[in-house]
Chain A
């Protein structure tokens, strides 16, 4: 069909990108409804610490990103439930704290600034076969967990206390959700970049919400928007030599603006 699929790296990038679109949009629905939008930004910065550690110590940066993002997600959830702190303050503290640690590790390491750049903004060229495998394995687990508990997570997003009174294990499921989100974000930074993944997680859902339909339809619309944005973003980035992550985000922004306009009362 298209010239770009003659390149193996583009095939890999598309596969990884579509998987990430699915994961980011479905998890994003719960994140947005729980008023956790900033969580994705914070975890993306925490994942950078993992990348920095991985690059400095010679481990697979993607695996390290997953581990550090999960630890960070648990820490946020622990702080939120244990201390009298505002959720958004915790997120702001963790975000800048993570970035500071990542920058220091990077500057101590010295030589790997260029590869870090690809994690900040995403780079389709850098997606390896190993990365695709990592995304498939962890992504399937994350997706299975989300689908398994989607009705509980939806209930919790609607009203945490009523969900608790009806016998749902709210605390456990909140930890599960942030864990899954941490995994998805860490997996995404190869393609979209840690500075931009928050957009792919949040904007498709916020766009879908403009159509004012039920939960299932909202999730499906968000899924379609995310996949469309990734495909069109990657295609544009290939033909016009644009950075992939940023182009994907611009595409999803266009979808958002159109959704706002179309549904304007």
Chain B
């Protein structure tokens, strides 16, 4: 009785992705479970974003199977369980007519019917997401006038407004200063621990990996999964794949 069967949020088996004869990903298999805090690292062009795009149904794999919450991706309908913050999120078009509230409200759109106004539940979810990201006082500000770090929090609030079970962030720190980055990792940890939201984030900057990461996936055409990131960072295989010396990482961390 002690073993409880758990359905993974993402169940990926034997994934291949080829573009114009070039092999971007080969034979990638991985599982992501509820409550995990996972970092996906790897060099630029190594296939991290491609992997995420396939997990989200934006690209179709050449070969392999993907299941979301136990369902085949083609049959999966409950997309509001997944919060996605894309790579360019904090680099929004400065002229786009959107207040912070306009953007966070987008997180509720797929839950509302046609014509319908925001329900009490919608309003609460939006307000809650803004409080969690500490942007309530910015709600009437135009997004184009915010700093990189503030925009980043707005984009995450939008993803949180649908009350997702998993949050996927692709290079969330593009265009964000160092202080905001540290604050950002603290927020992710908090969401993971206190709200039990599964977190998956992609970064090419191996130096930023936070201490409380549960598992680390290294993607460079192939995937290597390390269940203990601290050991993993020193493992020879990992540094070989990533293409840099592992001890550099530790040096980098001590600098801050």
Residues of A whose CB lies within 8 Å of any CB of B are 33, 147-149, 151-152, 154-155, 158-159, 161-168, 208-209, 212-215, 217-218
Q: Which of B140-186 contact A (CB under 8 A)?
A: 140, 142, 144, 162
B7 CB within 8 Å of chain A: no
Contact of B79 among A155, A161, A165 (CB under 8 A): A165
Residues of A within 8 A of B80 (CB): 166-167
Bound Cα distance from A152 to B106, whole angstroms = 8
> Do residues B107 and A215 form an inter-chain contact, with CB atoms below 8 A?
no
- Given the interface contacts A167-B80, A214-B99, does A155 sit within 8 Å of B109 by beta carbon? yes
Known: A155-B106, A162-B89, A215-B102; 4 extra A-B contacts, CB below 8 A, are A158-B103, A163-B109, A166-B106, A213-B99
> Do residues A215 and B97 form an inter-chain contact, with CB atoms below 8 A?
yes
CB distance from B189 to the nearest CB of A (A): 24
- Given the interface contacts A158-B103, A158-B106, does A213 sit within 8 Å of B56 by beta carbon? no
CB distance from A140 to the nearest CB of B (A): 15
Contact of A214 among B77, B98, B110, B114 (CB under 8 A): B98
> Looking across the interface, which residue of chain A has its beta carbon closest to that of B145?
A212
Interchain residue pairs with CB less than 8 A apart (21) = A33-B97, A148-B114, A148-B115, A151-B106, A154-B106, A155-B106, A155-B109, A158-B96, A158-B98, A162-B84, A162-B89, A163-B106, A165-B82, A166-B80, A167-B78, A167-B80, A209-B95, A213-B142, A214-B98, A214-B140, A215-B102
> Do residues B57 and A165 form an inter-chain contact, with CB atoms below 8 A?
yes
B19 CB within 8 Å of chain A: no
Contact of A151 among B97, B109, B142 (CB under 8 A): B109
> Do residues A151 and B112 form an inter-chain contact, with CB atoms below 8 A?
yes
CB distance from A191 to the nearest CB of B (A): 27
Bound Cα distance from A159 to B96, whole angstroms = 11
> Looking across the interface, which residue of chain B has its beta carbon closest to that of A206?
B95
CB distance from B13 to the nearest CB of A (A): 22
CB distance from B80 to the nearest CB of A (A): 6
Residues of B within 8 A of A167 (CB): 77-80, 110
> Do residues B58 and A165 form an inter-chain contact, with CB atoms below 8 A?
yes
Residues of B whose CB lies within 8 Å of any CB of A are 56-58, 77-80, 82, 84, 86, 89, 95-99, 101-103, 105-107, 109-110, 112, 114-115, 140, 142, 144, 162
> Looking across the interface, which residue of chain A has its beta carbon closest to that of B53?
A161
Bound Cα distance from A168 to B109, whole angstroms = 8
CB distance from B130 to the nearest CB of A (A): 15
Residues of B within 8 A of A149 (CB): 114
Choose among B77, B79, B98, B112 the residue with the greatest number of A CB atoms under 10 Å from its CB. Answer: B98
CB distance from A208 to the nearest CB of B (A): 8
Q: 4 closest pairs, A vs B, by CB?
A: A167-B79, A218-B97, A167-B110, A214-B99
Bound Cα distance from A163 to B107, whole angstroms = 9
> Looking across the interface, which residue of chain B has its beta carbon closest to that of A212?
B142
Residues of B within 8 A of A151 (CB): 105-106, 109, 112
Bound Cα distance from A154 to B108, whole angstroms = 13
Bound Cα distance from A217 to B99, whole angstroms = 11
> Do residues B98 and A215 form an inter-chain contact, with CB atoms below 8 A?
yes
> Do residues A166 and B97 form an inter-chain contact, with CB atoms below 8 A?
no
> Looking across the interface, which residue of chain B has its beta carbon closest to that of A145?
B114
Residues of A within 8 A of B142 (CB): 212-214
> Do residues A166 and B102 form an inter-chain contact, with CB atoms below 8 A?
no
> Looking across the interface, which residue of chain B has its beta carbon closest to that of A169?
B110
Residues of B within 8 A of A152 (CB): 109
Residues of A within 8 A of B79 (CB): 165-167
Bound Cα distance from A38 to B86, whole angstroms = 28
Contact of B144 among A164, A165, A212 (CB under 8 A): A212
Residues of B within 8 A of A155 (CB): 106, 109
Bound Cα distance from A166 to B162, whole angstroms = 9
Residues of B within 8 A of A165 (CB): 56-58, 79, 82, 84
CB distance from B48 to the nearest CB of A (A): 16
> Looking across the interface, which residue of chain A has its beta carbon closest to that of B97?
A218
> Looking across the interface, which residue of chain B has its beta carbon closest to that of A149?
B114
> Looking across the interface, which residue of chain A has its beta carbon closest to that of B114?
A148
> Do residues B97 and A212 form an inter-chain contact, with CB atoms below 8 A?
yes
Residues of A within 8 A of B110 (CB): 166-168
Residues of B within 8 A of A208 (CB): 97
Bound Cα distance from A217 to B109, whole angstroms = 19
Bound Cα distance from A164 to B80, whole angstroms = 11
Bound Cα distance from A214 to B142, whole angstroms = 7
Residues of B within 8 A of A163 (CB): 106, 109
Residues of A within 8 A of B99 (CB): 213-215
CB distance from B115 to the nearest CB of A (A): 5
> Do residues B115 and A147 form an inter-chain contact, with CB atoms below 8 A?
yes
Contact of B58 among A161, A215, A218 (CB under 8 A): A161
